[in-house]
Amino acid sequence: MAQDKLKLIPLGGLGEFGMNCMVLRWQDDIIVIDAGLMFPEEELLGVDIVVPDISYLTENRDKVRGILLTHGHEDHIGGLPWILSELNVPVYGTEFTLAYVEGKLEEHELLDDADLIEMVPGERIILGPFSVVPIRVTHSLVDCVALAIHTPVGVVLHTGDFKVDLSPPDNKPFDLHAFAELGKQGVLALLQDSTNVDRRGYTPSEKAVRPRLDEIFAQTKQKLFFSCFSSSIHRIRLAMELAHEHGRKVAVIGRSLDNSTEIAQDLGYLDPPPGLVINPGQIKDTPAHKLLVMISGTQGEPMSALSRAAVNNHKHAHIEAGDTVLLSSRVIPGNEKSIYRMIDHLERRDAEVIYDDGASGLIHVSGHGSQEELRLMINLVRPKFFIPVHGDYRHLKRHIELAVGMGVVEKTILLEDGDILEMGRDSAVKTGKVPVERVCIDSGGASTDVVEDLVIKDRRHLSEDGIILPIIAIDKRTGRVENAPEIVVRGMAIAEDGLISEAKQVVQKTLDVSSAEEKADYGVIKEKIRSDLKRYIQKNTSRRPLIMPVILEI
């Protein structure tokens, strides 16, 4: 009978923010919703990104029919290069989402082999036993969809990231009617975005930031530097409209912003009047009060254009006393230090910095629905089973409480990464787990490598306790030690004359009690030195540095 059950298996995004990836399986057919990445916590030293563990998919590679993308944010598409290099399957997304994906795959030299298929809201896609209808939703990015997946046991509705905006700047509103129709037909399971479950009320429309931004444009006497997320096309469009109204030329600086504005113009989401946008090289020839510089780096990323401009290290963007810098974005948790450090540099330049300006009007609105929008969606579709997605454990738990309090859902299920949920027409039961390790990627240098847990453990060890290198010169033929041992210490604050001289004696003693045969066998003598020195250091300092004996062959 288990063959007649629909399996839902989250590989990422349930229990953390980012790395969204959900698997649906019916017998021998699998579809995947989203393929995101996550930026690492501080303890993952030297790791650039974290992507989902797709070993379940690679083990069932012949069954995977495709990857369906809800929208183009990094936490939904960022893992694609890694996944497609292991598993080349068709990728479905809206026009704008695929434009982002193309750039990403081109960067990783995967575009030529990729099979990218455009999906249009309202138009059905058949993938084996799954019939998928994308439904237009609004978010902080354009061209976003929820997915209504018709399966042999009922409809599974995955909201993707959404808020209910009925008057968005691109005049493509949230499709309430389609969700209401689904509700009438009956929905087996609703998988709903939990990001803003802590926020009461409704999330304001994207248009709500216009009055405060208009005021800032009117009050700014010199250059205005405007920074927002490069994917916030609505915000970029609004800034360009205000620049035109206030008689300012627009220069775009920063690779991510450049790419986004180019894609948005190609696809008709941005249509600046002729002559409004100038080259960065023309900044110096434009009067300060006639200039808007759109610049990337809202999160204080070390090599971003705004971070470099803040320390006067950018070719075109020079921030001077009296200029205004507007950060039209939220502070992503974990980025506080780098953002406030950058703001300090800007303040040193006597620039006026406007950020998180809630007191005197909105300069940023969220792209995620607050509590009332989450309730509205549950009421519209009235699902039999409710499963919160996209959030830390506390968000998922709070979301369950919200759904239970409404009294319209038959059963709520809290899933975490790796859980297997088996659903029939009237049942939903957790039946086990698939392995989901976090896959850490180090993309520094020419190659992109997976960083093993052992490497991260070594990096942490080095950062906390330092390293000791005992250096000994030994004649391989005779086993004779040619001179007194040297000791190099890095990352440990210890007195040169005390501990180090005693450590040298410990090494010398080990050498003295070792036979010529042992000394000629480098593997044996290295291990003996390491073991004796480790015991001595631990006893005298309570620290456990990495000890790596170096034998110089004479």
At 450 the pLDDT is 59
Claim to verify: residue 109 and residue 250 sit in the same structural domain: no
In a domain, 222, yes or no: yes
Cα(460)–Cα(379) distance, integer angstroms = 48
Which residue bears the tokens 């599974």? 156
Report whether 69 contacts 77 (CB < 8 A).
yes
In a domain, 332, yes or no: yes
Claim to verify: residue 66 and residue 160 sit in the same structural domain: yes
At 1 the pLDDT is 44
In a domain, 459, yes or no: no
DSSP state of 452: P
Mean predicted confidence (pLDDT) in 330-353 = 89
Q: Which of 150, 314, 368, 399 is an active site residue?
A: 368
Cα(135)–Cα(502) distance, integer angstroms = 72
Claim to verify: residue 193 and residue 313 sit in the same structural domain: no
How many domains does one find in the chain? 3
In a domain, 95, yes or no: yes
Instruction: Quick: pLDDT tens for 398-429.
Output: 999 999 999 999 999 999 999 999 999 999 99
In a domain, 438, yes or no: yes
Distances (CA, A) of 540 to 162, 312, 461, 508, 536: 58, 48, 18, 18, 6
For the chain, give the mean pLDDT.
90
Residue 429, classed as helix, strand or coil, is: strand
SS3 track for 25-45: EECCEEEEECCCCECCCCCCC
End-of-domain residue from the set 310, 327, 359: 359
Give the Cβ contact number of residue 56 at 10 Å.
Answer: 19
Claim to verify: residue 173 and residue 61 sit in the same structural domain: yes
Claim to verify: residue 35 and residue 180 sit in the same structural domain: yes
Claim to verify: residue 298 and residue 424 sit in the same structural domain: no
> pLDDT-derived band of residue 40, with 50, 70 and 90 as boundaries?
low
Extract the annotated binding site for Zn(2+): 71, 73, 75-76, 139, 161, 390
CA angle 235, 239, 241 (to 5 degrees): 115
Claim to verify: residue 149 and residue 216 sit in the same structural domain: no
Claim to verify: residue 317 and residue 352 sit in the same structural domain: yes
Is the pLDDT at 505 greater than 70? The verdict is: yes
Sign of CA dihedral 540, 544, 545, 549: positive
Mean predicted confidence (pLDDT) in 487-515 = 81
Claim to verify: residue 291 and residue 312 sit in the same structural domain: yes
Mean predicted confidence (pLDDT) in 499-515 = 88
- Nearest of 311, 305, 252 to residue 280 by alpha carbon: 252
Q: Which of 34, 143, 175, 193 is an active site residue?
A: 193
Boundaries of domain holding 92: 2-201+366-442
Active-site residue flag, 193: yes
Mean predicted confidence (pLDDT) in 296-308 = 91
At 232 the pLDDT is 94
Instruction: Quick: pLDDT tens for 96-113.
Output: 999 999 999 998 899 999
Is the pLDDT at 394 greater than 80? The verdict is: yes
End-of-domain residue from the set 359, 377, 393: 359
Is the pLDDT at 358 greater than 70? The verdict is: no
- Nearest of 177, 243, 166 to residue 206 by alpha carbon: 166
Determine what percent of the chain is predicted with pLDDT higher than 90. 69
Is the pLDDT at 493 greater than 50? The verdict is: yes
Cα(548)–Cα(534) distance, integer angstroms = 10
Claim to verify: residue 303 and residue 331 sit in the same structural domain: yes
Determine what percent of the chain is predicted with pLDDT higher than 70. 92
- Nearest of 313, 312, 302 to residue 335 by alpha carbon: 302
Which CATH number belongs to the domain containing residue 265 in this structure? Answer: 3.40.50.10710
Claim to verify: residue 240 and residue 188 sit in the same structural domain: no
In a domain, 345, yes or no: yes
- State which amino acid sits at residue 362: L
Note the residue count of the chain: 554
- State which amino acid sits at residue 251: A
In a domain, 453, yes or no: no
At 357 the pLDDT is 55
Is the pLDDT at 359 greater than 80? The verdict is: no
Report whether 120 contacts 134 (CB < 8 A).
yes
Extract the annotated binding site: 46, 48, 71, 73, 75-76, 139, 161, 364-368, 390, 442
Distances (CA, A) of 366 to 63, 206, 207, 294, 295: 37, 8, 12, 20, 20
At 245 the pLDDT is 97
In a domain, 447, yes or no: no
Which CATH number belongs to the domain containing residue 536 in this structure? Answer: 3.10.20.580
End-of-domain residue from the set 410, 426, 442: 442
Claim to verify: residue 11 and residue 57 sit in the same structural domain: yes
Alpha helices (runs of H) in 205-335, residue ranges in sequence order: 210-219, 233-245, 255-266, 305-310
Instruction: Quick: pLDDT tens for 431-446.
Output: 999 988 777 776 543 3
